[in-house]
Amino acid sequence: MLLLGGAVCAALAVTATLVLPAAMADPLVVAVDLTLITALAHVFFRTARVPGLARPTARFWTSLVYALLAYATGMAVDLGALLITAGTGRDMPMYGAQLIYPMAGLLTLAAVFRYPTTVRRGAERLQMGLDAAIVLLGAASFIWYFTVSHRWTPSDGWLALSEALALPVMVLVAGFGVVRVALAGAKLIVRPTLICFAVCIGLSGFATTLPDDAGPGAAALLLLAQLFSLGGGLVQYRATESGTAGAAGERRPFSVLPYGASAAAFGLLVVVVGPGLDRQRWGVVIGVGILLCLVTVRQLVALRENGRLLAENRVLTGQLQHQAWHDELTGLANRAYFARHLADAVTRYEKTGADTAVMLLDLDGFKAVNDTLGHQAGDQLLREIAARLTGVAGGDVVCRLGGDEFVVLTSRPAQELAERLVAAVAEPMIIGGRPAGVGASIGVALVSDAPGDPAELLRRADTAMYAVKRGRRSEPAPVALSQ
């Protein structure tokens, strides 16, 4: 309904430019523009207040709200000036565009730099900043040539320059925001919203190139641009509210945007200086253009190859990390992984008092299976036991310490889980086409038994487990707690 109401108001404002004098139609257009930008600020405010939103993301949307309110303040000031002009016939300075819009632009830049990014290293930040600067300078050259240079001369004064720059700079700052979001890697803004914002910037940029006497065309483009931005904001709000926005993405190793901006700027340079060139100078320009194209292609090929090598390196690094922390035979976590998580459990107990059970499990009868059916069957049995333990333990840490020894770290009641683990291990299985079965003895030690000493915890669990094995003939209980 908000977008539909905005569209109706925009249509009425454009119609007014067709049937009313400019002195009466201009305030109406600015009033509708002010309404739309205020509505967008409200949508961003609601987005920032979505429950569960990460703090950096909420700060980004809140910063955009402040920037939009500054723009709205400038529009309100200019609306007042237009109304005074319409009522008295006396031209009033547009102080909103001259003084307030620049401050709103600074607030927008501050908001853009608050946008979360996957960039971590200083070199990556520098690369992203240079890429954005290249795109902005390329766009600025077009804005200067097609817009500002036609509306301002040095004799007009600096306030007139500020007014002439107001809308183009707004477009440029918004473009910088979209470019930085595209380069940042963090996918907090969903793609449809990003497309709507890009269309808004494109329409606004084209509107700035139209002459002042273009009639309703410029007003229609600017209002249509605001409708696209409002639509994008609504899409983003719904995506954030539903939880589909905010997934962290992987930043691409390079972007083609800076190269496209450089090519476009070179093309503009040729268009501007071309009419004054003779055949000799045209040869130089064409040669330099071809040279720049070859250098760009060479750079893109090198960057693509670097990206491929980095992707392969990430895969290999992941494989090495997995091998360092996991058992090759069963795929369970290994002793090093267990030691790290046991140390974390001790630290957590010291800080919060949350206890953790160390459950050391040793198989009974595994040597007989190994000797009777062979080592290959023993390996198959260990893999089956690992799958059963993982299935029962769920999200708890399950590790293989070596041989037929396993360990489980859990914050759940130890006795109940241990009995379920023993029952799962004792279920019959078929190994190598023959029935086989093993049992399990479990010793349990709590972190609270020996806080601050992981080695002592494991020793206590080991002692309890061997107590189970020694007393199994006289005491059938397969679980023992450390004393």
Q: Which pLDDT value is given to residue 183? A: 57
- Which superfamily does CATH assign the domain made up of 335-481 to? Reverse transcriptase/Diguanylate cyclase domain (3.30.70.270)
Q: Average pLDDT of 322-342?
A: 90
pLDDT of residue 45: 93
User: Given this model, what pLDDT does residue 294 score?
Assistant: 92
The pLDDT score that the predictor gives to residue 214 is 59
CA distance 31 to 345: 61
| Contacts of the segment 47-51: beta carbons below 8 A, 24+ positions apart | 47/233, 47/236, 47/237, 47/240, 50/237, 50/240, 50/241
- Residue 269 exposed, middle or buried by CB count within 10 Å (0-12, 13-18, 19+): middle
CA–CA separation, 362 vs 404, rounded Å? 6
**Measured between alpha carbons, how far is 115 from 40 in angstroms, rounded to an integer?**
18
**What's the mean pLDDT in 333-337?**
91
**pLDDT reported for residue 474:** 44
Question: pLDDT tens digits, residue range 209-256?
Answer: 777 665 677 788 888 888 888 898 899 889 888 876 655 445 556 677
Lowest average pLDDT, out of 33-37, 118-122, 428-432, goes to 118-122
The pLDDT, as a whole number, for residue 213 is 61
Higher pLDDT: 25 or 63? It is 63
Overall residue count recorded for the chain in this entry:
483
Tell me the whole-structure pTM to 2 decimals: 0.58
For 84-141, write each residue's pLDDT tens digit: 888 887 878 888 877 888 788 788 877 877 676 655 566 767 777 787 778 778 877 8
Answer whether residue 176 shows pLDDT above 70: no
For the chain, the average pLDDT equals 82
From CA 197, how far away is CA 226, in angstroms rounded? Answer: 9
Domain range summary for the chain, segments of one domain joined by +:
2-254, 335-481
Q: Is 185:251 a contact under the CB 8 Å cutoff?
A: yes
